[in-house]
Structures are given as C-alpha cells and as structure tokens.
C-alpha cells in the first residue's frame, strides 16, 4: 500500500516538477524584469530632480484643479485631523469633497461643528447614478474649499465615490481613503504627469506606504519609522517589493492595471464617461483602471498614459492583526477575480495591446491563480518530506528519489523570494532611503526573510480563500475596521491600529466563514 502511494507520488512529481519549474521561471523572470525596470525609472527620476519644476506646477495658474474625494464611513477618530491636513496641501486650486457614507458615529457632526458647515442647495447634476440617497450637501461657511456630502449607506465604497464624483467641480479627481495621510506636496507630485503631458495622461497613481510606526504630526508624516508589530513590518517590505517596484515597473512598461484606491488621480470627464466606479466589484480601483484601458482602446486611442508616481506621497495604516489582514487579502483576491471576470473579453485580445496580451494574463495566472500553484507546491513538499522520513524509517531508498528535487526547489524558491525582497530594499536604499536608522534597515532585512517563510504561505491561503469566496459567489462585504486614528501632536502610530470592532466582530467572522467555506 505504502509503495503504491510512493509510486503515485513519484509519478505526480515527474510531471509536476516541469510545470512548477516553468511557472517558477516565468513568474520570477517577470518579477526580476519589473524590478530592473523600476530601478531604471528611479535612476532616471533622481537625475531629473534638479529640473523637475515642482515649484512651477504650484505657481502656474493653469495647473488643473483637483477635487479630492474622501469617502468616509465611521471615521470619527481621525476625520478632523485628516481633513485639516488635506486642506493644507500645497496645491494652487483644489477642493476636498468628503462623502459621509451614512456613518453611524459622530463623523458628520464633528465635521459640521469643526468647519461650521452650512447646507447648500443640492441642485447637483448627477451624471452618475448613485444608490445611497443624497440627504444633504454642506459647504464650509468660513470659505475653506470643503464640501461634505451626507448620503445614505449603500454598503459600497464605490457608491460614495460616485456621489463625490457627481459634486466634484474640478477637471481632475483624486480618490483618497479617509484614514490616509498625504504628504503636503502629494498633489503636486501626482499632478505633474498631467501638467507635463496633458494630452496623453489620463490617470496617475501615487505610491502608498505603511504609516504604522511613523511619527505623525497634525495629520502629516514627519518621520518615517518601522512598526513594532512584525506583521506590519513584513508589510513594509511587501509594499516596497510588490507595490513600489511592481507598479513602477508596470508603469514603465505602460501596463499599469492597479492604481490603489487609497490614492489615485483621474480625469473626471473620463470617469464620468465610464459611468463612475463599479458598485458591484470589491476591486473597484483595479476595475476602474481596466475599464479605462478598455474604453480608450475601443476608441482607438493607443497613445494614452496611465502613470505611477513612485515618490512617497501617501501613507496608510496596514493591518497589524492576522484576522484583519486575512480579510483584506481575501477581499483583494476576490476583487481581482471580479475584475478579470468582468473584463475577460480583453484577455488575450490583441485589440487591447499589451494589457490584453501580457498584463491581464499575468494577473490571471500569477496573481489570481498563483496561490493555487504555490499551495500545491507546499502540500507536495510536505508530502515528499513525510515520505522521505518514512523512507529512512522503512529503509526504502526509492522514497528519497524525488525529495532532492522538491527540497532543492523549495530552497531556491524561498531564496529567490528573499532575493526579490532584498532587491526591493536595495533599490529603496539607493533611491528614497526613507528608513533612516540602521536598526530599521536590520529589521527590514529580517522582515524580508520572514516575508518568504510563513507570511507568504499565509497570504497564499487567504488569497485562495478569496478566490473560493468569489467562485461561490459569496456575499460581498467590506467588514468594519475601527481605526485608532492620528493625534494632532506628535505620536507614534500604534501597532494596534486596525483592531476589529468588537461589537460586530462575531457577525462579520461568521459572515465571512459562511461565504468562504
């Protein structure tokens, strides 16, 4: 019986090893290529800083105005500081549109009191249909460029942003999460591509970095730092490798598919033409970008640009507990599945250029289905190791035959993953070097090891759950994340931020479990 099992395993490995080797080579070659392209972009960027002309963007009265849309749901802890910080952005012409998405806490009352809001006639053109009822629109009596929309909750972040899009009055719209912290020059940085090439640039995305452990003052990061929590520390490295380098690389290849919802800038007219953000997908940020690609390609435009701005401009709290992280990654995975399914007609379709031929297939095979292959590899490795141990016990040398490949492969795969993380750290060190202390650097190195041993496998599992969630058509739910927020005086953002809301935790967990399992 045991020998039958061994022979079956042997047969499986003989076929699987070639597949997984090819998969491994293609995936990592793409990652390496993206890293190299990102490095080249950074090098180019830094050589051009002396004549970048950011000050001119500020001084130019022709710089396009920006409506910053901030969807807010139960953000009473930090909303005032964050809106104040946004009102202090260095930018010549902008407005902040806060969309209170039916908060059940004091979000709206705090805003009303702090900014002396007065209702204004809400005779708004509604080019985009929204589900949540618009209850009132407020303006700041003292003249701050602030509009607050009070709407009923529709259980969709997209619906809140669409309401903001309806009332936004500037040609560019910037979506920002209510808990995100922006650098004072954030808008200047992300608008720059629009100023330099207004004919072709249709959207830009800013890099988002973890704020945990950073020193915050009056809603602004004044000193980047490392979180105390290891889960958050690992995410610092992950954000560097995956988001900073990955997206910079895709942007350089004109293949950017994801602009983070936490900080993205779009031409309002185009988003309106698309009908706004899709309310039915959880990956509304990626969906919007995919939709933009589709829309523009169908119009015969091939010269448009979607640009990723690598300069650190936006900071956000990342989950510091496994349960919240798991929920976030399941949601991302499900969102990606929804986007790929919705735009499946673009897949392998030459009409959509490199997006259809390269980018979407990459996201399908390596991002969405990657966890399946990786989990299969982990299970196989575990089986091989178990059989190897059994082989030693039962003195059956054939049992050891495939273990050499499997173990060697695992070591190389982990080593390569570590190398990519280290490459990201190296690029960061040679470019922005935001991690000032040696201690931070050492912690980053350790975190990049941990990212590949344990963390990565956990992510695979959660992403796999997200995929199953989508396949079972489970109910879409964002869950509630109670944030600690930021104080107005200098504090270190605590690693305990993003704790679950105890009042609804059980309900949400059971809801998720129902839909995943």
Partner 1 sequence: MTIAPTLFLQVALVGVASLLVVFGVAVTARRTQRSIAIARYEKRAGVLRPQLLRLLAEDEPDLSSLDDLARADAKLLESLVWHLLPKVRGASRVALVDWLDRRGAIARARARTHRRGVVGRALAAEHLGSAGRPEATDDIARLLNDRSQEVRLVAVRALGKLGDARSVPNLLDSLSGPRPVPVSLVSMAIIHIGPAAIDELIEGLARQTAGARAVCAELLGQHGALQAAKWLVALLESDPSDEVRQRAASSLGRLGVPQGVEPLTRAMAPSNPERLRTIAATALGHIGGSNALGALQNGIADENPAVASACASALSAMGEKGVAILELVATSENQASELASDWLMRARKDDGGTHFRASPRVVTRRLL
CA distance 445 to 424: 11
- Least gap, CB of 408 to partner 1 (angstroms): 5
CA distance 191 to 176: 14
Of 101-109, 120-128, 254-262, 486-494, the segment contacting partner 1 by CB under 8 A is 120-128
Q: Does 451 bind partner 1 (CB under 8 A)?
A: no
Residue 71 phi, psi dihedral angles, 5° rounding? -75, 135
- Spatial contact of 414 and 452, defined as CB atoms under 8 Å apart: yes
DSSP state for residue 399 in the 8-state scheme? G
Q: Does 171 bind partner 1 (CB under 8 A)?
A: yes
Of 298-306, 331-339, 422-430, 457-465, the segment contacting partner 1 by CB under 8 A is 422-430
DSSP 65-109: PEEEEEEESS-TTTHHHHHHHHHT-S-SSEEEEEEEES-SSSHHH
Task: Walk across the sheet containing 215-217 and list its strands.
Answer: 220-223, 215-217, 491-492
Q: Does 376 bind partner 1 (CB under 8 A)?
A: no
CA triple 210-215-216, angle to 5 deg:
90
Q: Does 12 bind partner 1 (CB under 8 A)?
A: no
- Least gap, CB of 21 to partner 1 (angstroms): 5
The residue whose two tokens read 């939709």 is: 291
Q: Pick from 12, 65, 305, 509: which binds partner 1 (CB under 8 A)?
A: 65
DSSP state for residue 398 in the 8-state scheme? G
Of 193-201, 230-238, 270-278, 509-517, the segment contacting partner 1 by CB under 8 A is 193-201
Q: Pick from 8, 59, 379, 446: which binds partner 1 (CB under 8 A)?
A: 59
Region 85-104 residues binding partner 1, contact defined as CB under 8 A:
93, 95
CB closer to partner 1 out of 18 and 341 = 18
Q: Does 120 bind partner 1 (CB under 8 A)?
A: yes
Q: Pick from 1, 4, 199, 350: which binds partner 1 (CB under 8 A)?
A: 199
> How many residues lie near partner 1 (CB under 8 A)?
63
Pairing of the two strands 215-217 and 220-223: antiparallel
Mark 15-54 with x for binding to partner 1 (rule: CB under 8 A) and - for no binding.
--xx--x-------------------------xx-xx-x-
DSSP 170-220: SSEEEEE-TT-EE-TTHHHHHHHHHHH-TTTEEEEEEEEEE-TT-EEETTE
State the residues that interact with partner 1 by CB under 8 A: 10, 13-14, 17-18, 21, 47-48, 50-51, 53, 56, 59-65, 67, 93, 95, 118, 120-121, 123, 139, 141-143, 145, 147, 167, 169-171, 195-199, 401-402, 404-405, 408-409, 411-412, 415-416, 418-419, 422-423, 425-426, 429-430, 433, 438, 441, 445
């Amino acid at each position: 019986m045991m020998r039958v099992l061994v022979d079956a395993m042997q047969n499986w490995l003989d076929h699987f090893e070639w597949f997984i080797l090819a998969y491994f080579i293609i995936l990592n070659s793409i990652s390496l290529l993206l890293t190299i392209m990102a490095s080249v972009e950074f090098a180019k960027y830094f050589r051009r800083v002396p004549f970048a002309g950011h000050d001119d963007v500020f001084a130019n009265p022709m710089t396009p105005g920006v409506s910053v849309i901030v969807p807010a749901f139960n953000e009473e802890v930090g909303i005032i500081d964050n809106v104040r910080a946004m009102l202090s952005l260095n930018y010549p012409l902008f407005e902040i549109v806060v969309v209170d998405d039916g908060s059940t806490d004091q979000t709206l009352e705090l805003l009303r009191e702090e900014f002396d809001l007065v209702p204004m006639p809400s005779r708004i053109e509604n080019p985009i249909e929204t589900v949540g009822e618009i209850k009132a629109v407020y303006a700041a009596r003292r003249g701050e460029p602030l509009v607050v929309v009070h709407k009923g909750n529709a259980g969709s972040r997209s619906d809140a942003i669409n309401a903001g899009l309806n009332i936004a009055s500037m040609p560019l719209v910037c979506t920002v999460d209510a808990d995100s912290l922006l650098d004072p020059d954030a808008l200047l940085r992300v608008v720059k591509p629009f100023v330099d090439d207004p004919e072709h640039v249709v959207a830009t995305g800013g890099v988002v970095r973890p704020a945990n452990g950073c020193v915050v003052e009056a809603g602004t990061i004044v000193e980047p730092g490392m979180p105390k929590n290891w889960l958050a520390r690992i995410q610092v490295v992950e954000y560097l490798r995956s988001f900073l380098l990955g997206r910079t690389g895709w942007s350089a290849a004109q293949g950017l598919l994801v602009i983070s919802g936490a900080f993205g800038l779009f031409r309002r007219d185009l988003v309106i033409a698309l009908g706004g953000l899709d309310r039915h997908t959880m990956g509304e940020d990626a969906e919007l970008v995919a939709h933009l690609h589709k829309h523009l390609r169908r119009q015969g435009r091939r010269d448009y640009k979607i640009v990723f701005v690598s300069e650190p401009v936006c900071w956000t709290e990342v989950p510091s507990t496994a349960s919240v992280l798991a929920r976030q990654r399941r949601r991302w995975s499900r969102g990606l599945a929804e986007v790929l399914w919705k735009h499946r007609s673009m897949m392998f379709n030459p009409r959509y250029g490199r997006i259809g031929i390269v980018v979407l297939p990459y996201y399908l095979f390596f991002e969405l289905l990657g966890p399946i292959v990786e989990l299969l590899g982990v299970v196989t490795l575990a089986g091989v190791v178990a059989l190897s141990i059994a082989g030693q016990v039962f003195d059956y040398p054939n049992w050891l035959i495939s273990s050499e490949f499997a173990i060697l492969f695992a070591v190389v795969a982990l080593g390569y993953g570590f190398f990519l993380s280290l490459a990201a750290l190296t690029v960061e060190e040679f470019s922005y070097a935001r991690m000032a202390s040696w201690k931070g650097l050492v912690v980053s190195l350790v975190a990049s090891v941990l990212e590949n041993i344990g963390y990565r496998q956990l992510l695979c599992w959660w992403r796999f759950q997200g995929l199953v969630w989508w396949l079972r058509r489970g109910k879409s739910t964002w869950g509630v994340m109670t944030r600690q927020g930021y104080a107005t005086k200098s504090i270190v953002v605590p690693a305990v931020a993003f704790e679950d809301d105890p009042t609804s935790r059980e309900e949400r967990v059971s809801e998720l479990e129902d839909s995943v399992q």
